[in-house]
Amino acid sequence: MEFHLNVGGFLKRAAERHMDKPALIFENQRVSFQQLNSRVNRLAQALLSLGAQKGDKIGLLFFNSPVFVETFLAAVKIGAIAVPLNVRLVGRELIYILKHCDARFLFLGQDFMEGIGGIRERLGQVEQYIVAGDSSSAVMQHYETLLSGAVDEEPQVLVKEEDAAAILYTSGTTGRPKGALITHKNIIWNEINYIIDKDLRVADVALLVSPLFHAGGLNNLLTHIFLGSTLVLHRTFDPQSVLETIEKEKITVLQTIAPTMYNMILQLPDLERYDLSSVRAVMSGGAVLPVETKKKIQDLFPHAGIQDSYGLTEVTSTGTALKPELALKKIASVGKPFFTLEARLIDEKGGEVAPGQVGEIVLRGPNVMKEYYKDPEATESTFRDGWLHTGDLAKKDEEGFLYIVDRKKDMIISGAENIYPKEIEEVLYTHPKILEAAVIGVPDPVWGEAVKAVVVLKPGEEMTQEEVIAFCKANLASYKKPRSVDFVSSLPKTAFGKIAKVLLRESYRG
């Protein structure tokens, strides 16, 4: 058989090179690279026996678990296309995605049996349902039973670098979710970039709490398979469990989580009682870490470097990184593009903007997705002249470091002035009484849009709207200050822990 680099091949080589070394640690399970590859091979063979073919779409509906890992890797080993599904989706949303991607197979955890059972009649194209966990069903096959009857042999399917590996659906913030078609080549180059620019090592023991159905979590998983380092996996995010696991497993790398999650960790009592000295790298993504949060993280993990990054699903998760030694020197920067990725900042006419000016980030490189699945119009509007147009606004300094200003769609236009919510949020996060904050534009009959701050206070704290506005006015140009402030107990979040601005805006415009 011809030789081609592919994602499944890297698991095979990791099993050959590292054998009994733990690949995954999950709750009370410790799975070696050899054991993981064996189970993946058996599942791949079982899929082939069920009639799965190269190019088939296989849905995955699981909380973080070894079963998700096995299913994803088995799918790509036979040249099928894995479609991870957000566990928060409801029936209507699942129906849309599973129909849109033409899924033939659906793997699911027992948590989702009832929900999927309620929509099966509307999923005619799904031919096989495989459920993992302690469950029985007359219409769904059992995962372990399927594995028990299969042989441990590498599937003899030719999988090339240019073949599709996954369809990762965006969150649907601009309407229907779009499916980013990611190839084996995209994933491989993304891992190479990530390992080099994030300085990951074979000896690392990394903790992953972000959801695997998200591009960021999936990238973190595959990076450690690619590298041959150990990954400790949490089912979901729990701040206290994070600290307990760091101490127990001597975690060296805290893999990418969102700033809101770090905030939750920092609010825990008695932080000093945990031994966190093993951590050498703390990674953040989804949004730029507020400066005050970054300083507190540095105090909590004194032996660790903090690495901020910027990415999006369409670049297989990550596009830039800031070196740890610059974390408190290049304040609010997301660093420079990965070494195989090119980035430009352009104006509305496509011309490159000067340092210090705001422009849209456009990217090109081998980890940029192939296309949006079955959406030629969105693909054409996103790819122009060979560049991926991200819709993100940024500045760069004279040394080429990037600073995210905001999403194009988040920018507020008030009285003909462009106002960037992120700038106001940075100020709000410096107030000692404020835990979280989000700034949005709301309709205004005079100004077109008015600035509104939605604030979560720290436990036991009190503030008035006037105090918040005065604080912003003292630290910003007056036209940027909020015209109104709402205090809430919590802000809506995405599955990755990022504040969901779209949901917030909808709640004030509905």
User: Is the pLDDT score of 488 beyond 50?
Assistant: yes
11 phi/psi in degrees, rounded to 5: -65, -45
Q: Are 76 and 100 in contact (CB under 8 A)?
A: no
Q: Is residue 371 part of a domain?
A: no
Per DSSP, the residues of 36-88 read HHHHHHHHHHHHHHTT--TT-EEEEE-SSSHHHHHHHHHHHHTT-EEEE--TT
User: Cβ(323)–Cβ(307) under 8 Å?
Assistant: yes
Long-range contacts, 420-426 (Cβ 8 Å, 24+): 420/393, 421/451, 421/501, 422/288, 423/476, 423/480, 424/451, 424/453, 424/472, 424/476, 424/480, 424/481, 424/482, 425/290, 426/290, 426/291, 426/332
Note the pLDDT tens digit of each residue in 70-79. 999 999 999 9
Residue 445, C-beta contacts closer than 8 angstroms, at least 6 positions apart? none
Res. 19: pLDDT tops 60: yes
**Cross-strand pairs, 308:** 284
What local confidence, expressed as pLDDT, does residue 146 receive? 94
What pLDDT is recorded for position 459? 92
Residue 463: per-residue pLDDT: 96
Last residue of one domain, picked from the residues 130, 158, 181? 181
Let me know if residue 312 belongs to a domain: no
In a domain, 291, yes or no: no
Q: What is the pLDDT of residues 220-252, one digit of tens each?
A: 999 999 999 999 999 999 999 999 999 999 999
Residue 399 lies in a domain: no
Query: Sorting pLDDT into bands at 50, 70 and 90, what band is 426?
Result: confident
Give the H/E segment covering residue 467: helix 465-475
pLDDT score, position 175: 57
Q: Which residues pair with 453 in a beta bridge?
A: 439, 485
402 in a domain, yes or no?
Answer: no
- The yes-or-no verdict on residue 402 having pLDDT over 70 is yes
> What average pLDDT does range 160-186 have in this prediction?
87
Residue 174 has pLDDT above 60, yes or no: no
- Give percent of the chain with pLDDT exceeding 90: 75
Give whole-number Cα distances, 218 to 17, 54, 140, in Å: 22, 21, 26
Residue 67 C-alpha from the chain's centroid: 19
Domain boundary among 157, 181, 205: 181
The answer to whether residues 307 and 324 touch, using CB atoms and an 8 Å cutoff, is yes
Distance CA 53, CA 157 (A): 9
- Evaluate the CA torsion angle 435, 441, 445, 446 in order and state its sign: positive
Is residue 215 scored above 70 in pLDDT? yes
Q: Enter the tokens of residue 309.
A: 């990054």
At 240, is the secondary structure helix, strand, or coil?
helix
For the CA atoms of 318, 319, 325, 328, the dihedral, rounded to the nearest 10 degrees, stands at -90
Cβ atoms of 226 and 325 within 8 Å: the answer is no
Mean pLDDT, range 33-51, rounded to an integer: 98
Q: For the chain, first and last CA: distance in Å? A: 58
| Stretch 272-284: mean pLDDT | 96
Instruction: Name the residue among 502, 509, 422, 454 with its Cα closest to residue 177.
Output: 502
Which residue carries 């507190």 as its tokens? Answer: 296
Please report which confidence band the pLDDT of residue 416 belongs to, taking 50, 70 and 90 as the band edges: low
Range of the domain at 113: 32-181
Cα angle at 47 between 41 and 48, to 5 degrees? 90
Chain segment 439-454, per-residue pLDDT in tens? 998 888 777 788 999 9
| Most confident by average pLDDT, 43-47, 174-178, 493-497 | 43-47
298, part of any domain: no
The pTM of the full predicted model, rounded to 2 decimals, is 0.86
| pLDDT value, residue 510 | 54
Q: Using H for helix, E for strand and C for coil, what is the string for 362-417?
A: EEECCCCCCEECCCHHHHHHHEECCEEEEEEEEEECCCCCEEEEEEHHHCEEECCE
Element containing residue 107 per DSSP (H, E): strand 103-109
Please determine, for residue 173, whether its predicted confidence score (pLDDT) is greater than 70: no
- CATH code, domain with 96: 3.40.50.980
Q: How far apart (Å, rounded) are the C-alpha atoms in residues 217 and 65?
A: 12
pLDDT single digits (tens) 192-202: 999 999 999 99
Q: Which of 181, 196, 230 is the last residue of a domain?
A: 181
The alpha carbon of residue 159 and the mean position of all alpha carbons in its chain are separated, in whole angstroms, by 26
* Site of tokens 């006037």: 466
- Asked if the structure places residue 221 within a domain, the reply is no
What is each CA distance from 97 to 86, 165, 374, 397, 494, in whole angstroms? 10, 17, 12, 41, 18
Number of domains in the chain: 2
Adjacent-strand bridge partners of 343: 363
What's the average model confidence in pLDDT over 395-408? 89
Average pLDDT of span 106-130: 93
**Locate tokens 């499944």: which residue?**
8
Residue whose entry in the numeric block shows the structure tokens 């995209």: 186
Kindly state the average pLDDT of the residues 324-332. 90
How would residue 170 be classed by pLDDT, with cut points 50, 70 and 90?
confident
- What pLDDT sits at residue 92? 86
Is residue 89 in a domain?
yes
- The domain spanning residue 447 has which CATH number? 3.30.300.30
The residue-averaged pLDDT of 15-26 equals 98
- Tokens 């398979």 label which residue? 225
